[in-house]
Amino acid sequence: MKFGEKIVEGMFLERPNRYLARVEIDGKETLAHVPDPGRLPGLLLENRKIMLVHQPSEKRKTDYTLVLVKHGSTWVSVFPAFANSLVSNALIEETLPFLNGYSSFKSEVKAGNSRFDFHLNFSKKEAYVEVKSVSLVEDGIGKFPDAPTKRGIKHVQELIEFSEKGYRAAVLFISQRQDTQSITCNDTIDPVFGKWLRKAKNKGVELYGMNCKVTPTTISLNKVIEVIL
């Protein structure tokens, strides 16, 4: 999957707020939209090489969107929405090994008091799947979240309810970088989320992880990795 039609290289300078970055492109400073509002620790550092999509529009405040950051030799996507797009494509192509045998699926489905990323119809039961994008990796271990997430806790709590009612329920962690070897919950940042994720696993909620192959212009699902709590 391509990040966009026109992708340019730049350099990160600073982040004035969660959704804005000051960057340098071809020796000129400009502003770019940051699609990931998380803290992105260890990634958005001064003078880091970045890739941006050029999308000028009268409706946009900036002409650029920051999509990739170079971390050592690894490109890291900072565009959380791509995780859902990757999963959607994989469901269309029926290439997710842990979700086989569904007859149909829908995206952005309202259920309970939330909207879930995917709803799948199986012959014997339905399934609700929530996708979480992981960008923070330390020593090969992907850690979610990188900022407190009340929304994430709410989703996990409702998935527990679905599981108790007889539905399949799952959280799929997508690490948009290739150096991730496993996924865990980030108890230092949000111990409450970690508590509920462990409870969810004990209540039958399925936990899956995948990392991605990322190039300067494309991203694709790479391989299944373990979620270790």
Q: What is the pLDDT of residue 112?
A: 84
Q: Of 15, 42, 77, which marks where a domain is finished?
A: 77
Q: Provide mean pLDDT across the span 146-159.
A: 95
pLDDT tens across 10-66, in order?
999 999 999 999 999 999 999 999 999 989 999 999 999 999 999 988 888 899 999
CB-count exposure of residue 53 (10 Å: 0-12, 13-18, 19+): buried
At residue 209, does pLDDT exceed 90?
yes
Q: Whole domain around residue 160: which residue ranges?
A: 81-227
Q: What is the pLDDT of residue 114?
A: 86
Q: Please tell me whether residues 62 and 98 are part of one structural domain.
A: no
At residue 75, does pLDDT exceed 90?
yes
The three state secondary structure string of 114-148 is EEEEEEEECCCCEEEEEEEEECCEECCEEEECCCC
Residue 195 belongs to some domain of the structure: yes
Query: What total number of domains does the chain contain?
Result: 2
| Order of strands, sheet of 206-214, starting from the edge strand that comes earlier in the sequence | 104-111, 114-121, 126-134, 168-175, 206-214, 219-227, 182-185, 141-144, 137-138
Q: Of 77, 97, 129, which marks where a domain is finished?
A: 77
The domain that holds 125 is classified in CATH as 3.40.1350.60
Q: What is the pLDDT of residue 26?
A: 96
Residue 168 belongs to some domain of the structure: yes
Q: Of 58, 77, 96, which marks where a domain is finished?
A: 77
At residue 133, does pLDDT exceed 90?
yes
Q: What is the pLDDT of residue 60?
A: 86
pLDDT tens across 82-127, in order?
999 999 999 999 999 999 999 999 999 998 888 999 999 998 899 9
Which residues lie closer than 8 Å to 147 by C-beta, 6 or more apart? 37, 38, 39, 189, 190
Q: Please tell me whether residues 59 and 87 are part of one structural domain.
A: no
DSSP 8-state assignment for residue 45? -
Q: What is the pLDDT of residue 20?
A: 97
